[in-house]
Amino acid sequence: MESSAFEIVIYLAWRIGFGSIIFAVLLFVVVFAMRRYLNNKAKRAIAFREVWEPIMLASLDRIPDDLPPIEEKDHITYLIIWNYFQELLLDESKRNLQILANLTDLDLIAKRILRKRNIKGRLLAVNTLGWLKDKDSWNLLKKLLNHTDTTFSLAVARALIQINPRKSTWLILPLIAKRKDWSIERCADLIKQMGVEEVADKLILQINRTPKHLLPKMIRFLDLLLPSETNPVIRRMLTKYEDKEISYACLLAYKDVDNLQRIRFFLTHEDWEIRMQAAICLGKYGSEDDIDFLISTTEDSEWWVRYRSAQALARIPEMSLEYLKVIADHHSNKFSRDVILRIVTEREVAESCGLSY
């Protein structure tokens, strides 16, 4: 007993059912067609590599006289191989790769691909123009620097630095501060590419200009600089700001061996992460004078502070394993004893493996 509404449903069920079967058959055909197409594309790429990888290897010594033509279908593969060699080799070996690129009009190929929509091609193109140090692309790349796509904008930044490190510094440093999607790791890579020594003063200037809420990220990069450059900045930051995030970042980058009094002060900070980081600092730069401070911090209420304090104790140059055991034995606090004994064992294991602790 089927109502008219139900009949409509049955009608639709037939139509959609048959339509779906046809669509499913179409998908079946498309999958195999795509497979064939992609297999052919892969075979073509392999064939291209078999010709061009030996050419590129040989080019490191001497560029061959007869270079085979590169068809448009092979452009992406060519970019991949060329970029791979660029990433792999040291600068001295790459000179002939640049000449090879000129002989094959690689810059024109890259610019053509950059105008297309495919993100894979565009990324390769940007990377290529960077390695080519193509000055003609400067304005084009500069426009793309603020692209919302993280991967793409970072690739553009890198390319601009490669083309002209000095000119790109003041384009990129503010973005390093501003862009939350640019990770510390990638930004550190960019700064290293600019040349840490060359850009140190500009980085410090940028840090001084950076608004407070963006400082924690920027301060981390001070770790790339020399202590003589870092120390005045850190001292100023620690004096000026009581913000937990800023203090933490400063402690991460701290290298002021002659000014550990401030660090000792942080051992009693209300925030446990600050106390922990202060203990780590003393482990790196502390001396015999800090032993008592660290022993008392092994009684901290927060486990991580106790652990890092005990580790720091073990890392003080004057601290021997025997002395650590004595400290543990004589400590009245159970938690301190436990954590110090754990560090003793960790250090014994490390030393037995020939590793430093």
Partner 1 sequence: MWIELLINLQWLCIIFFVGINIGYFLLILLTFQNLPSYVNRQVLREFPKQQTDFSMPISIVVACYNEEGAIVQTVLSLLQINYPEFEIIVVNDGSKDSSLNNLIEAFEMVSLPIAVRQYLPHKPIRGIYQSKKIPNLRVIDKENGGSKADALNAGFDTAMFPLVCPLDADTLMDKESLNYMVQPFLENPLTVASGGTVRIVNGCKVTDGVLVEVDTPKNFVALFQLIEYMRAFHFVRVGWSAINAVPIISGAIGLFKKEAVYEVNGYNPKTHAEDLEIVLRLHLHYCEQNKPYHIANVAKAVCWTEVPESLSILRRQRVRWQKGFIESLWMNRKLAFHRRGGTMGWIAMPFQFLFEGVSPIIEILGYILTVVSFIIGALSLQALVAFLLLAFSVGFVISFTTILIEEILFRTYPKTKNILILFLTAILENFGYRQLNAIWRCQGLINWLRNVEGKREIPRLNTWQTPAK
Write each residue from 104 to 143 as x if it is in contact with partner 1 (CB under 8 A), else as -, in one continuous string.
--------------xxx--xx--x----------------
Please give the residues from 177 up to 206 whose contact with partner 1 meets the rule CB under 8 A. 180-181, 183-186, 188-189, 192
Residue 226 interacts with partner 1 (CB under 8 A): yes or no: no
Please give the residues from 24 up to 53 whose contact with partner 1 meets the rule CB under 8 A. 24, 27-28, 30-32, 34-35, 38
3-state secondary structure of 75: helix
Q: With respect to partner 1, which residue has the nearer C-beta, 30 or 99?
A: 30
Helices 106-114, 75-88: inter-axial angle, 10-degree rounding:
110
Q: With respect to partner 1, which residue has the nearer C-beta, 118 or 287?
A: 118
Residue 24 token pair:
């499913």
Q: With respect to partner 1, which residue has the nearer C-beta, 146 or 264?
A: 146
Q: How far is the CB of 66 from partner 1 (least distance, A)?
A: 28
Residue 342 interacts with partner 1 (CB under 8 A): yes or no: yes
Q: With respect to partner 1, which residue has the nearer C-beta, 145 or 188?
A: 188
User: Of residues 112, 171, 223, 323, which one binds partner 1 by CB under 8 A?
Assistant: 223
Q: With respect to partner 1, which residue has the nearer C-beta, 3 or 239?
A: 3
Residue 321 token pair:
């394993």
Buried residues in 5-30 as b, exposed as e (16+ CB within 10 A): eeeeeeeeeeeeeeeeeeeeeeeeee
Angle subtended at Cα 227 by Cα 226 and Cα 231, rounded to the nearest 5 degrees = 130
- Residues 41 and 20: their CA atoms lie apart, in Å, by 30
Q: How far is the CB of 289 from partner 1 (least distance, A)?
A: 26
- Residues 152 and 250: their CA atoms lie apart, in Å, by 30
User: Of residues 49, 112, 149, 333, which one binds partner 1 by CB under 8 A?
Assistant: 149
Q: How far is CA 81 from CA 14, 56, 224, in A?
A: 53, 9, 32
Tell me which amino acid residue 54 is. P
φ and ψ at residue 53, rounded to 5 degrees: -65, -45
- Residues 303 and 84: their CA atoms lie apart, in Å, by 46
Interacting residues with partner 1 (CB under 8 A): 1-3, 6, 9-10, 13-14, 16-18, 20-21, 23-24, 27-28, 30-32, 34-35, 38, 80, 83-84, 87-88, 118-120, 123-124, 127, 149-152, 155, 180-181, 183-186, 188-189, 192, 220, 223, 302-304, 306-307, 335, 338-339, 341-342, 345-346, 349-350, 352-353, 355
